[in-house]
Amino acid sequence: MANILLLEDDTSLNRGISLKLEKEGYKVLSAFRVSRDMRLCIRTALCQQGGI
């Protein structure tokens, strides 16, 4: 299945959502804060896919 980047600053929610997605077969990369570099990376990736 697909990879998912999960951005959630609440630790409990992040963990719960990650576990649910992993049970569904997704590979989850969890982050608790969005740094400037990550925002640029996300924007660039979305632009390349036509998302923005």
Q: What is the pLDDT of residues 29-50, one digit of tens each?
A: 888 887 776 776 777 776 666 6
Q: What is the pLDDT of residues 7-17, one digit of tens each?
A: 888 999 999 99
Q: Which amino acid is at 46?
A: L
Q: Is-contact 28 7, C-beta < 8 A?
A: no
Residue given tokens 């576990």 in the structure block: 19
Confidence of residue 23 (pLDDT cuts 50, 70, 90): very high
What is the SS3 assignment for 32? coil
Q: Is-contact 22 1, C-beta < 8 A?
A: no
Query: Is 5 a residue whose pLDDT tops 70?
Result: yes
Q: What is the dihedral of CA 32, 34, 40, 41, to 10 degrees?
A: 0
